[in-house]
Amino acid sequence: MTETLTPALGPATGGPPLSRLADDDLELLLLIRHFELTLLQLYGRGELNGTTHTCLGQEYVPVALRPLLGPADFVFSNHRGHGHYLARFGDAHGLLAEIMGREGAVCGGVGGSQHIHRDRYLSTGVQGESLPVAAGVALHLRRTEPGALACVHIGDGTWGEGAVYEALNMAALWDLPLLVVVENNGIAQSTPTAAQMAGTVAGRAAAFGVDHHLVVSADVDEIRTGLAPLVARVREGRPLVVEFVTHRLGPHSKGDDTRPPEAVRAAQENDWYARYAQDHPEHFHRFDGPARALVRGVADEVAARPPSRWSPCA
Amino acid sequence: MRVAENLNAALHGLLDDDPTAYVLGEDVLDPYGGAFKVTKGLSTRFPDRVITTPISEGGLTGVAAGLALTGNTAVAEIMFGDFAALAFDQLCNFAAKSVSMYGSRLPLRMIVRCPTGGGRGYGPTHSQSLQKHFVGMPGLALYEMSPFHDNRDVLAAMADRGEPCLFFEDKVLYTRPMGQADPLFRARLDGDLAVVDPVVPELAARPDYVIVTPGGTAHRALEAMRSLLVEEEISGRLLVPSRLYPLDVEALLPHLGEVVLVAEEGTAGGTWGGEVAHLVHQRIWERLRGPVRLVHSAASVIPTAAHLEREVLLTASAIHHAVREALRG
């Protein structure tokens, strides 16, 4: 079931008018946006250790999925997972403390940006690795908690890994409640998708008899309406690949953006943030300033905390 | 009872006692019952919890990790241990890390069985002993099957450890009897450690040398011990730990003397034996007559033809000679 939508481009930005969102959806979108922008600022000031991968431009993916997933569902996230975590828990303090290695960190500062485990949420940093694990979890859920599912976020680059195909094969073979969310942002680190993927995601899903649904919209309500009946079928044991055609606004990690200016401009023109500000200025401005201030407050508060503590033998 | 039957019974016991236990792998269903028949009968008795998988070692190891992550006891079979290389990412970067990288301990009851070793003519890619590639990985424990350790106890120890475990099963052992077959020697368990001494008490009390081996090499060490005793009146002791890594070296110490050897089937370089030697040197260097001596297979691929395979694999006579050299100093 491959659905291809051709977006009608608006005059100033890259899409049709966005639906007016519920307040909590807009708040969550803005929380993720300002969280990620703040991370890049903190890095710029040398206040963070290591690296991070922001989901700027892709925030609407987990926000759209949020009401479609329940507490019994597992979510497997990847290296670009801050939005996934915030959409699940809304816990900016715990996540920033994890990234900064401060007291109150979700995982004691051990996992950092891309290795987080909390309740039924787990992220790990190796591409494709979580798919077979999610298949195992889905197998457990199908047998012991029918109706629950395992959702895995991957990117377009992840399709280079053999683990993806081993897992898709087993998911189809065993009728597993596995939802694979592909955030196809058109670029794997610095490599355009066209230079690393032969064929299509849809074709690869079809090879296993796995349903595929293409989402080109960035409209949270529209995405949900389209996905709700499909996710319900996943719960009955029909695996699904949902491919979001999305845009990575920022660099892969910190300052490593080698894309030509027109590619960055194209991503910016598709940015839900600017589009929503244009389509719903009053609603946008009512929440944008407070979200920015909230994250600034989180950053100040977390930065002042003592370092996290952890014992290697624990 | 043969070792394979003991292991098969142990798997039946595990599935019987633990309603969350799963066994999965390639060709594990009846009537085939696994390439080495170790899973025979399991799928007939427990059809819901014995799962045949595609030829996807990485994938099936990941599925086992997912089952363990959700509170189950997962036993995965890698048909030939050589193929554990295909599951290295799942073992090293997922399962072993997940136990500790999320800040607090996340127990995983997960056992990955690896039929291992040569001597059966399966050739270079189906005969290796890959233990050394997994030594020293925090969060991943290594065990090896032996004729002296009841597999029911070993499976329980691995599951209860709460971290992923690799279980190396020397294929040659499958058809050998459990326990001690040579009337010159007697085996006993000191905790996790099998201690094999001559039956004559005076010889058992003062061994001239001590050999440490994983379970798969034990019968070759015993053959060497017999020839040394019968032909040269040299008396030795054999120590066989069930858990190879992390090694409980303190359990070895009371049984060691001045001359210590480690014999294993893998090739030299970065070995389990090197790890044993290092730990022993740290504890009792001053008690040793010389450094711990390591005995391996030749640095070679493992040929298929029987006469060529014999040339490279660790033999009893190689162990015999190594003991003689060690005693000469």
- In this complex, which of B60, B66, B104 lies closest to A137 when CB atoms are compared? B66
Which residues, in sequence order, are bridge partners of residue B237? B210
pLDDT at residue A10 above 70? Answer: no
A46 Cβ under 8 Å from any chain B Cβ: no
Q: What is the mean pLDDT of residues A218-232?
A: 98
Which residue in B has a C-alpha nearest to residue A309's C-alpha? B103
Q: Do the Cβ atoms of B65 and A136 come within 8 Å?
A: yes
**Closest chain B C-alpha to A71 CA, distance in angstroms:** 14
Q: Quote the CA–CA distance of A204 and B167 in Å, as a whole number.
A: 35
Q: How many beta carbons lie within 10 A of that of residue A269, not counting itself?
A: 16
Q: Quick one: pLDDT at residue A6? A: 39
Q: Per the CB < 8 Å rule, is A136 touching B56?
A: no
**Interchain contact, B56 vs A166, CB within 8 Å:** yes
Q: Does A170 touch chain B (CB under 8 A)?
A: yes
Contact list in A for residue B68 (CB cut-off 8 A) is: 136
Domains of chain B, each with CATH number or no CATH: 3-175 (3.40.50.970), 185-328 (3.40.50.920)
CB < 8 Å to B102, chain A? 107, 110-111, 115-117, 122
pLDDT tens figures, A248-289: 998 888 777 889 999 889 899 999 999 999 999 999 999 999
Do residue A166 and residue B93 have CB atoms under 8 angstroms apart? Answer: no
pLDDT at A253: 83
Which CA distances in Å does B210 have to B118, B204, B217, B238, B242?
Answer: 25, 11, 14, 6, 17
Q: What pLDDT score was predicted for residue B263?
A: 98
Token pair 């809304």 in the structure block, residue: A90
Residue A260 in tokens: 């030509």
Q: With b meaning 16 or more CB within 10 Å and e meaning fewer, what string describes B271-298?
A: bbbbbbbebbeeebeeebeeebbbbbbe
The residue with tokens 């910016």 is A268
Looking at residue A251, its pLDDT comes to: 85
Assess whether pLDDT exceeds 50 at residue A12: no
CB A241 within 8 A of CB A201: yes
Gap between the Cα atoms of A214 and A207, Å rounded: 16
CB contact under 8 A, A132 and B90: yes
Report the Cα–Cα distance between both ends of chain B, in Å, rounded: 41
Q: What is the pLDDT of residue A50?
A: 87
According to DSSP, the residues that pair with A187 across neighbouring strands are: A192
Please state the ipTM of this predicted complex.
0.95
A178 inside 8 A of chain B by CB: no
Where are the domains positioned within chain A?
A: 23-302
pLDDT at A313: 63
Residue A14 scores a pLDDT above 80: no
* β strands within chain A, DSSP E: 74-77, 117-118, 121-123, 150-155, 178-184, 187-188, 191-192, 211-215, 240-245
| Residues from chain B contacting residue A164 (CB–CB below 8 Å) | none
Cβ distance A107 to B59 less than 8 Å, yes or no, reads no
Which tens digit of pLDDT belongs to each residue from B212-253? 999 999 999 999 999 999 999 999 999 999 999 999 999 999
What is the Cα–Cα distance from A284 to A278, expressed in whole angstroms?
A: 9
Q: The pTM is what?
A: 0.95
The CATH fold assigned to A23-302 is Rossmann fold (3.40.50)
Question: A110 and B102 in contact by Cβ < 8 A?
Answer: yes
A172 touches chain B (CB under 8 A): no
Residue B177, strand partner residues: B2
Q: Which residue of A has its CA nearest to B91?
A: A129
Q: What is the pLDDT along chain B (329 residues), one digit of tens a residue?
A: 999 999 999 999 999 999 999 999 999 999 999 999 999 999 999 999 999 999 999 999 999 999 999 999 999 999 999 999 999 999 999 999 998 889 888 999 999 999 999 999 999 999 999 999 999 999 999 999 999 999 999 999 999 999 999 999 999 999 999 997 799 999 999 999 999 999 999 999 999 999 999 999 999 999 999 999 999 999 999 999 999 999 999 999 999 999 999 999 999 999 999 999 999 999 999 999 999 999 999 999 999 999 999 999 999 999 999 999 999 97
Q: Helices A92-100 and A82-89: crossing angle, nearest 10°?
A: 140
Pick from B131, B140, B129: nearest CA to B171: B129
Percent of chain B with pLDDT over 70: 100
- Identify which of B63, B101, B103 has the shortest CB distance to residue A136: B63
Cα B15 from Cα A299, distance rounded (Å): 50
Q: What is the per-residue pLDDT across A86-97, written as a single tens digit (0 to 9) for each?
A: 999 999 999 999
Q: Which residues of A2-13 are buried (b: 16+ CB within 10 A; e: fewer)?
A: eeeeeeeeeeeb
Mean pLDDT of chain A: 93
Min Cα–Cα distance to chain B from A116, Å = 6
Token readout for A17 is 């008018």
What are φ and ψ of residue B203, in 5° steps? -75, -40
Q: Which of B60, B61, B105 sits opposite A314 (nearest CB)?
A: B105
Cα–Cα distance measured from residue B108 to residue B131, given in angstroms and rounded to the nearest whole number: 21
Average pLDDT rounded to a whole number, residues A40-59: 92
